[in-house]
Chains A and B, each alone.
Chain A
Amino acid sequence: MFNFDPRLPSAKELIVLDMLAGKKEMYGLEMVQASGGKLARGTIYVTLMRMDDKGYVTSRQLMEENVSGLPKRVFSITGLGQRALAAARSAQAVFGGVEVWG
Chain B
Amino acid sequence: MIGKKLVKFVVQNAEGFVGPIAFEHLIYSHKKRKLYEHKKARRHEILYFIHALLYLVSLQFLLRIMSTGRNRLAASPPGHNLIEFASFLFSKRANQMIYLPLISDMREEYNEALFQNRTWKARWIHIRGIYSFFAAIGLDRAFAFVSFFIKAWKSVN
Assess the A68–B104 pair: CB atoms within 8 A.
yes
Q: Do the beta carbons of B100 and A70 come within 8 Å of each other?
A: yes
Using Cβ atoms and an 8 Å threshold, which residues of chain B touch A49?
94, 97-98, 140
Known contacts A28-B105, A41-B132; A46 and B111 CB within 8 A of each other? no
The answer to whether B107 touches A45, judged by C-beta atoms less than 8 angstroms apart, is: no
CB <8 Å contact, A45 and B136: yes
Contact, CB under 8 Å: A70 / B135: no
Cβ-defined contact, B98 with A68, below 8 A: no
A46, B101: Cβ atoms closer than 8 Å: no
A69–B151 Cα distance when bound, in Å, is 38
Which A residues touch B131, using CB under 8 A? 42
B 94-110 binary contact with A (CB < 8 Å = 1; else 0): 10111111111111110
Instruction: Say which size band chain B's interface belongs to.
Output: 20 to 34
- CB-CB contacts of B43-76 with A at 8 A, as 1s and 0s? 0000000000000000000000000000000000
Given contacts A29-B105, A70-B107, contact A40 B132 (CB under 8 A): yes
Bound together, the chains give a CA A5 to CA B107 distance in angstroms of 34
Asked if A101 lies at the interface with its beta carbon under 8 angstroms from chain B, I say no
Binds B, one of A16-24, A59-67, A86-94: A59-67
Top-5 shortest CB links A-B: A42-B135, A68-B107, A42-B132, A29-B105, A70-B104
Question: What would 20 A/B residue contacts be, using CB atoms closer than 8 Å?
Answer: A28-B101, A29-B108, A32-B105, A40-B132, A41-B105, A41-B106, A41-B129, A41-B132, A42-B102, A42-B131, A42-B134, A43-B135, A45-B102, A45-B136, A48-B97, A50-B143, A67-B108, A68-B105, A71-B100, A71-B104
Give A contacts to B, CB under 8 Å: 27-29, 32, 40-43, 45-46, 48-50, 52, 59, 61, 66-73
